[in-house]
A and B are shown apart, each in its own frame.
Chain A
Amino acid sequence: MILSVRDLRVSFRTHDGPVRAIDGVSFDLGESEILGVVGESGSGKTVSLLAVMGLITDPNATIEGSIRYKGRELVGLPPRELRRLRGNEIAMIFQDPMTALTPVYMIGWQIAEQIRAHRGVSKSKAMERVEQLLAEVNFPNPHEAMSRYPHQLSGGMRQRAVIAMALSCDPALLVADEPTTALDVTVQAGILDLVRKLRAKHKSAVVFITHDMGVVSELADRVMVMYAGRVVERGTRTELFSDPRHPYTRALLGSIPPLTGQKPRRLPAIPGSPPSLLRLPQGCAFGPRCPVHYEPCEASKPGLGSGAHAAACFRVAQA
């Protein structure tokens, strides 16, 4: 097991009261497995992964629970130790490639910086490796690209550079936070293709965050759907897409307009909008928007259960 998260809770103190961004999230990730995490804004998908990376620097945040990487507990690890893992064994790809690179340094320098931070190699050795990496992520002219500044590259190329950087120390775990959301579909297709190939080659486990069900279904081995800081459904890709159980998953899949076949006159829409984390209902957070909610949903939050394909819903549990 590469990553094992148990009952993770992250909360922030704010002026308007405490915000529980993550409320008891658990998941496992095996070697060279791709886990897709789906959710909307405020679902906690990004915060949970920042917690894994030890990148929640906000002094108002409290992190509880357990995050084990290859059996080693990361929660409460001294910053120094965490830093040794970050970028080295656990790497991250961010959403917006336009702002993720420091604008004043060349691409090659920025990637080499990471290699040199973790491996005691000479500058020229590091640069050789950078050229290899850029070739691997399909830069047409890797040597020339090394001396380019971020603003001289297109969005897709920048994201490739960020991916090359993430791969530079052969991480066992790669965390990607909506890496294709800011890109055009044509560019996205190339990046998804690249992630698949690299996973096969480097055997890295990948956690891929997205709001796009289509992306998840193309890439992930297993899927986890989040809503308002909790996991509402998990399962393998096939289980989740051929037999979605949680009303939220079903509704979300149903509201996506089809790309082929007959167009429905109206889309089956979900009423309302995602709840504010400051004012979560006592019971199931999806309850107020749920087509099948009944009394038990008001009183308490349904648990996820322990099955491989599980949904946090009283209706599902009852059936």
Chain B
Amino acid sequence: MIYAILRRFGQMLFVMFGISVIVFLIFFATPGADPAARIAGRNASSEVLAAVRHSFGFDQPLYVQYTRMMEKIFVTGDLTSFVNRGWKVVPAVMDSIPVTLSLVFGAAVLWVMVSIIIGIVAAATRDSWLDKLLMALGLLGISMPVYWLGEVMNLITQSRYHDSWAFSWVPPLGYKNFSDDPKGWFLTLVIPWITLAILYIGIYGRVLRAAIIESMQEDYIRTARAKGLSEARILFRHALRTSLIAFVTLFGLDFGALVGGSALLTEVVFGLHGIGKLTYDALQNLDLPMIMATVMYASMFVVIANAVVDFIYILLDPRLRAS
């Protein structure tokens, strides 16, 4: 057990090291990315440029620059932005984490619950009108782009029908801290949660339905019927558990990616200053320290999410436990 955790940890360090080196090298190989020129301003003289280079350490060899940047992220935590002088990137990332986590976590709870219900109902009523309707709705959810859906949601809840009884409770866009205002936190996030979840409900519902239907063909389902168990018990206790394995794999990948910044579009549409937005802005400004910090954070989450998935696997499937 301890060995497995250590192995995961080693793997995480390896992934983070690899990614950071790649990001670092790509940055310096990108044309027009010279940070000194950007920092010094548009018409800076060559003396100013040289001074900036020296004060930021750009005249050092790359590996020295790399080591110093890593040290500043992980040890001293005082890495500053190249673009906004004095803006410390580590606290900026730390501030964005609760926003993204709130968004993604709430949406995940919603999509997991709803898609499990949809998957089970569709599989249980296979080929009926209800199954067909649910699958058609799922497909609709998958095909709606999230930024478009978000804008439509905003249009409805913020302007067109904001004054109607149905949506008058929706607060203006933005994020409220859970610790300051739990009710406000919840209300501002409801619409973003639904928007983000709709896509995943469609995908997960379909995946689960297919997995359950596949399990229902297994020999052990026939055994369960021969035992005289009720159809409901067969479905919930025997077919569902084995079907959840595919579901969990997908969830680990999606959740890790979303927490790492893939919820960008949702964040932008709803004015939430999360990791996605932070990464996006940093990329726009070619702000290496910020890019580096967000990328490090994202890769850490992807690896952690994968470790959690592996753990759930072992809970779900005893065949994977070492004897």
A contacting B, Cβ–Cβ less than 8 Å: yes
What's the nearest-Cβ distance from chain B to residue A85, in Å? 7
Contact partners of A250 in chain B: CB under 8 A: none
Q: Report A-chain residues with C-beta under 8 Å of the C-beta of B229.
A: 83, 87, 113-114, 117
- B7 in contact (CB, < 8 A): no
User: Are A103 and B242 in contact, CB atoms less than 8 angstroms apart?
Assistant: yes
Complex contacts, B237 vs chain A, CB 8 Å? 113
Q: Is A165 a contact of B227 with CB atoms below 8 Å?
A: yes
Answer whether A86 and B318 are a contact pair too, CB < 8 Å, given A100-B219, A152-B323: no
* Cα A113 to Cα B223 with chains together (Å): 12
| CB <8 Å contact, A87 and B238 | no
Known: A55-B225, A96-B219. A149 touches B319 (CB 8 A): yes
Pairwise interchain contact B219-A113, C-beta atoms closer than 8 A: no
B238 and A102 contacting across the interface, CB-CB below 8 Å: yes
**Number of contacting residues on A, CB 8 A?**
28
Cα separation A118 to B228 with both chains bound (whole Å): 8
Chain B residue with Cβ nearest A79: B231
A101 to B219, CA, bound (A): 8
A99 interface neighbour in B219, B227, B319, B323, Cβ under 8 Å: B219
A91 within 8 A of partner (CB):
yes
Q: Is the pair B226, A85 in contact by a Cβ cutoff of 8 Å?
A: no
Instruction: Report the bound CA distance from A192 to B124 in whole Å.
Output: 39
Is there contact, CB below 8 Å, between A103 and B318?
yes
Bound form: Cα–Cα A87–B228 in Å: 5
Contact with B along A92-106 (1 / 0, CB 8 A): 101010011111100
CB-nearest residue of chain A relative to B221? A102
Structural contact, A86 and B222, CB atoms closer than 8 A:
no
Interface assignment of B180: CB less than 8 Å from any CB of chain A:
no
Chain A proximity of B90: nearest CB distance (Å): 43
- Check A180 for interface membership: any CB of B closer than 8 A: no
A37 at the interface (CB under 8 A from B): no
Task: For the complex, give the distance between the alpha carbons of A165 and B319 in Å.
Answer: 21
* A151 x B319 contact (CB < 8 A): yes
CA distance A53 to B224 in the complex (A): 12
B317 within 8 Å of A (CB atoms): yes
Interface flag for A43 (CB, 8 Å)? no
Q: Which residues of B contact A165 (CB under 8 A)?
A: 223, 227
Contact (Cβ within 8 A) B228 A99: no
B218 within 8 A of A: yes
Could you tell me if B227 and A101 are in contact, using CB atoms closer than 8 angstroms?
A: no
Chain B residues near A103 (CB-CB < 8 A): 220, 242, 317-319
Known: A99-B219, A102-B220, A104-B242. Is A113-B227 also a contact (CB below 8 A)? yes
Does B230 count as interface, using CB distance less than 8 angstroms?
yes
Query: Is A167 in contact with chain B by the CB < 8 A criterion?
Result: no
In the complex where A85-B228, A88-B228, A117-B228 touch, is A94 in contact with B318 (Cβ < 8 A)? no
B241 contacts A by Cβ under 8 Å? yes
- Contacts A99-B219, A99-B220, A152-B323; A104 near B227 (Cβ below 8 A): no
Q: Is A162 an interface residue (CB 8 A)?
A: yes
Measured in the bound complex, the distance between the Cα atoms of B229 and A84 in whole Å is 9
Distance in Å: Cβ of B152 to nearest Cβ of chain A: 41
List chain B residues, Cβ under 8 A from A149.
Answer: 318-319
A162-B223 in contact given A104-B317, A149-B318, A152-B323 (Cβ < 8 Å): yes
A151 touches B318 (CB 8 A): yes
Q: Which of B224, B226, B318 contacts A104 (CB 8 A)?
A: B318
Q: Which residues of B contact A104 (CB under 8 A)?
A: 241-242, 316-319
Contacts of B230 in A (CB 8 A): 83, 117
Determine the distance from Cα of A96 to Cα of B222 in the docked complex, in whole angstroms: 12
Beta-carbon contacts of A47-91 to B below 8 Å, as 1s and 0s? Answer: 000000101010000000000000000000000000111111001
Contact B227 A117 (CB under 8 A): yes
Point out the residue from A57, A83, A94, A151 that lies within 8 Å of B223, measured CB to CB. Answer: A94
Q: Which residues of A contact B219 (CB under 8 A)?
A: 94, 96, 99-100
Residue of B nearest to A166 (CB): B226
Taking CB atoms, residues of chain B closer than 8 Å to A91 are 226
For residue B19, give the distance in angstroms from its CB to the closest CB of chain A: 36
Contact across chains for A87 and B323 when beta carbons are under 8 A apart = no
Identify 13 residue pairs between A and B in the complex whose beta-carbon atoms are under 8 Å apart, listed by A's number: A57-B225, A83-B230, A85-B228, A86-B226, A87-B226, A99-B218, A99-B220, A102-B238, A103-B220, A103-B319, A104-B316, A114-B227, A149-B318
The 4 closest A-B pairs by CB, nearest first: A87-B228, A99-B219, A86-B228, A87-B227
B interface residues, Cβ below 8 angstroms from A: 218-220, 222-230, 233, 237-238, 241-242, 316-319, 323
Can you name 9 extra interface pairs (CB under 8 A) apart from A100-B219, A102-B224, A117-B229? A55-B222, A86-B226, A87-B227, A99-B220, A102-B223, A103-B220, A104-B317, A117-B227, A165-B227
